[in-house]
Amino acid sequence: MDGKNEGPNCICNDDELIFANVIYRHGCRNIDRVFPNDPHKDEINWPGGIRQLRNEGKQQQYKLGQYFRRRYGKLLGPKYSSNKVYVRSSDFDRTLMSAQANLCGLFAPTKDEVWNEELPLAKIWQPIPVHTVPQKDDYVIFGLKNAKYEAELKKFMSESPEIQTILTQHADKFKLWSQMSGLDIVTFNDVQQLYDTYNIENWTNKPLSEDAKKEIEPNGVMEYVAKWHFKLESATPLLARLRSGFLLKEILEHFTQKINKTLQPDRSIFFYSAHDSTISYVLNSLGLFELHFPPFASSLHFELYRTSKNEHYFQLFYRKSENEEILTPLNIPNCGEKCTLDQFYKVYSAIIPDESDFKCD
């Protein structure tokens, strides 16, 4: 969305895009977890290392950065400026590398930004800061998993008829998956990580056992249970408040500051290089999540608009594929496709955290 009635991403009315906060998942990576019975668990099988970004993932992020250039070029201008953009990443190699590859696609150096005429790389890439904090301190991207959170999750798991039905009906599958992996598979997260490992090994042409091939067949039990992992950890208002509420609160505060002209510096975009869980928890907290695996290099776009009457609203877009050039705004429950900050706070006040959430009593 470079501007009014310009190009394939035009706003196509008199409303002006003035600000955006974008969350994106890292590019495709190697397996994230190894299992004792996995013949491909050794590091030598994974160029770059286990949990690391693959070359395909770097390319995905480069293309995503090019898409951001097309969508937000007018907001950002032709050159990188720390007064225009801020990039935050979780403290993982794959998200930090994704942010850097993304910025390479977003901010190709202009002629006067080439920092070494003798180095070919300097003509297509320039260093741009990516900010992070240790995972244990990063409640914005990862949420606050304190005693209050753990108690609420345990309560939900034990009281949810749907969860208990899944666990009861597929108890034999959990036993089979434990035998296959060599570990006790007891949680939805365990299942998701096993499915993820088998799935990545499959599309990287690693030989799989017949049992593993059967278990990861599309629309199978393992896939279904694995998808539930992305829903249950933000399944109640309190879980949503502690898991994704801090990120939503930060985005809303950015919007408020932008509207009130108190944002310092007066930036145009904040980017968050994050994870599939980050995207799924935000969507689920807003009542928008449908069971699926958020794809590599997918992105959530919170965009703030100003009308000709100097009124403001925001829209939320979900880009799941590099083939999606034109996006359709999501219909936020009880808020609509065009949601004002007042509306949002009124509808979702229960998931916006405050200082009391840091207390564990």
Q: Give the rounded percent of residues in the chain with a pLDDT score beyond 90.
A: 90
| Residue pLDDT, tens place only, 115-169 | 998 888 888 999 999 999 999 999 999 999 999 999 999 999 999 999 999 999 9
Question: What's the whole-number average pLDDT of the chain?
Answer: 94
- Report all structural domains of the chain as residue ranges with CATH numbers, in order of start: 20-36+47-142+259-302+315-322+345-357 (3.40.50.1240), 161-232 (no CATH)
User: Above 80 in pLDDT, residue 326?
Assistant: yes
**What's the pLDDT at 360?**
64
Q: Which two tokens stand for residue 318?
A: 């979900």
Identify the pLDDT of residue 361: 58
| pLDDT over threshold 50, residue 8 | no
3-class secondary structure, 318? strand
The secondary structure of 274-337 as a DSSP string is: E-HHHHHHHHHHTT---SS-PPTT-EEEEEEEE-TTS-EEEEEEEE-STT--S-----BTTTBS
Report, as an integer, the average pLDDT of 7-29: 82
Q: Tell me the per-residue pLDDT of 34-81, one tens digit each, with 9 for 90 and over.
A: 999 999 999 999 999 999 999 999 999 999 999 999 999 999 999 999
What digits encode the pLDDT tens for the residues 274-296?
A: 999 999 999 999 999 999 999 99
Closest CA to 333 of 317, 347, 319, 316: 347
Q: Is 48 helix (H, G, I), strand (E, B) or coil?
A: coil
Query: What's the CA gap between 136 and 189, in Å, rounded?
Result: 19
CB 305 within 8 A of CB 12: no
pLDDT in tens, 293-324: 999 999 999 999 999 999 999 999 999 998 89
User: 137's torsion region: left (phi>0), alpha (psi -120 to 50) or beta?
Assistant: alpha
Residue 357: the pLDDT is 86
Residue 235 has pLDDT above 80, yes or no: yes
Query: How far apart are the C-alpha atoms of 4 and 1, rounded to whole Å?
Result: 8
Q: Which two tokens stand for residue 268?
A: 């145009």
Which residues does 204 contact at the CB level (< 8 Å), separation at least 6? none
Please say whether the beta carbons of 207 and 48 come within 8 A.
no
